[in-house]
Structure 1
Amino acid sequence: MRKMLIPAAAAALLWSGVSPAVAVTDDGIPYLGTGYLHEFGDDSRDSDNGDGFEVRLGWPLGKYGYDNLSIEGLFHALRRDRDIDGNPDYQRGLMVDLVYDFGLYGWGSDASTKARFKPFVLAGLGVVQEDVRGDEHEHFGINLGGGLLIPLNWHDLAARFEARVLAQDNDDSVQGEDRLIDYRLGLGLQLPLSFLFPTSAPVVPPADECAIAVVDPITGRSDCGLDSDRDGVLDGLDECPATPSGSVVDARGCTLDLGSDADNDGVPNDADRCPETPAGAQVDALGCVVAQTLVLRGVNFENDSAVLTPESREILDGVADSLKSQPNLRVEIGGHTDSIGNDTYNDILSRQRAEAVRQYLIARGVAADRLVAMGYGEFKPIDSNETAEGRAKNRRVEFKLIVE
């Protein structure tokens, strides 16, 4: 009966829907883990429960389009003492597992003390070697299980607890038995191999430099030429060189009849070649976005989570439409937090929020290869963290717009 119930329970654990790698961070870095292993052996064996160790190497698959999935290679070795004479038998196994995590969960209102964990499930295949009374033989094995990954807030180190069911097609270890089913508990540590696989922010190409730059003494603007009427069109190209200050001009430097301006970018609809500019973005004389960093005001999340609010989705709908109308733009989405709470937790939360914005824009039709999500935590404030107003400004999502 026991052999039937435990596999059924493991299968039920995996049946949570076809689902969203077990890593503390979501940056795609491979990880190494090791720990203690205790086995509750099959009842048909005449031996004690086993003790041993396991070592795993995992590789997250998010950058290949399979978010929350990892593939892991696992080696385990354990020893059992026989009931009949107290001498040891051994087992070794080499498995390949597919692991799926459900994201970061926790409780507690304060981010610095909040308990956090990542639940996960796994399934895999491999080879098991049994050494019974000095007779070694190998068998096909199947793994099912699940567990929790608990961040320790030090260099992305995490504690890992898991439970597994290992079934073997084995008629050699125990006379009269064709299958053996063992139940294992593991407790250990897991560390991303960041020193071997560093990550970095995308490099933004530098702007073209002038041989001689002309600096406007009033505005401080630097150009590769002179702009006497300060309308944004250099004198050598300006067909209307005495435009009144503040006038909106076309590419020739001549004043435009504003008429209606649907996206409020200062360029009228008739002359606007990019008519769905995000609010607050800087544009050129044709109404198209230029390279810049843009803070998305009003893009907020549910408290202490990466879940977008309904109002934020409305804002991002407009951003998606604008990006689709300007396919020459690439975007780095940067998530930022204030300094309240643990810095490691803030770093993780900022990455998750930036990725939530990226996934929403992809769902709205923006090509995934145009979007990069980066989390900067509390390390790039734009205001003081000593006041409530400053902290509110630091909790933000930024778009770094790169024109190709």
Structure 2
Amino acid sequence: MTLLSATPKRLFEKDFLLNFQWKSIKTLIGDFIKALEEGKSNFTIHEFDKIFSGLKNTESVHGKDILAKVSFQWYAFTKTIHQSLGSRIGNFVEYIIEKFFKDAGYNPIYRNESLGEILSKTLGIDLESKRKIDFVAKKDTTLYFVELRTSEHTGGKTAQSSLLDKFDQIFDSETKIRCGCLKKGFKKIELIIAILFNEKKELINPDYENYSKGRLTSLLDYIISNDHLLKRVENLINEVGYSANIESRNLKKSMKHKLENLEPVELWRDDFTISFKILLGEQFFKYLFGKMFSEILKERKIADDLWFLYSLALNEIKIAKEFGETNVKKIQQLLESEGKLQTFFEEFSERSKNVKDLEEFEKLLEETRRKMANETMELASRKGMELRLLETNDLQVNYEYLKHICTALLIIKAYTGKGSRNRKTRRSE
């Protein structure tokens, strides 16, 4: 298990994926710790949300109804964490894609900057546009403009418009952009709409046809309308003198056929080419980065902190409502009563200083949490304390959960112990 909240930063700070995972979630760790120790959080909801959810009714429910007692904390905790994660996931995706561009040799790369600023920097031309584009990247003599969507559900007209407005401006400023490109040594610009996942949240693979052709058709109908691509392509062919890989006599049908088959619409004049294409899922990664998504992530470690602490916190909130305190708190007090917790933590911290890599650290973490679990079982036996931590009599299941609790105690000590990282919690939203 890779838990960055217990890991010395020096062991993962050079790994771009782990490092950004940590940057994205570290401010949530304090909230998880509060839930693990106290069985509650600072999160709450307003009165209208209580009415909407029906949780207003649980305020007067009988104390023996555990589900009703825990429902408010579960709802507020889950809702607040998920709301917080929304923007973090978006930023995470953009950062990861930017790193893929860098690793594939693109330079420079612009992420989420205005079209006007990017064209000024790359081509030295003045174009009034504050509309932000997801990525612009240069490789060899080609300039790539990429609008990225994680879902094939691209939304209504407003959302679809945001996919095209930058590309519309590029077509409308063709002369200025073409001259700027040729002056700077660019022979081609590629305008790309990338859609990564289908409605089932699966990475799209066009070879498997695991995407909605109906949604793609709907998007294409919008793209190839008189207000967008159609009239602009017609103008470049009929007025500016571009040649194209589509039939000019039946332009709309020919363009739609190309894009439906995930082929580019290309126009060229002299030594300059404009390409417009839609890339789906694996096609996007293979085309721009030369590898399938699974290949890019192959043998990369992925941190477990978020699912581990979130799941543990939810269960411990329920335990606290049912028994008056969390299992984490109970085990913490048991180990502290014999001075064992501090001893384990100090030994763990000291040995961590000599660890050379993540694999070695993970072995140390597993060894330590196993020792802590075994010691906890011995102490509980001597004190006559029952250690039934879950609603099952399966000893192995309870033992695995006990190891998770011991891991959480190491994380808590790392945040609240002497000389450790400062403990922080986010305010309620």
Question: Is the TM-score greater than 0.5?
Answer: no
When normalised by structure 1's length, the TM-score is: 0.18
Flag the structure with higher helix content. Answer: 2
Mark the structure with the bigger radius of gyration: 1
Flag the structure with higher strand content. Answer: 1
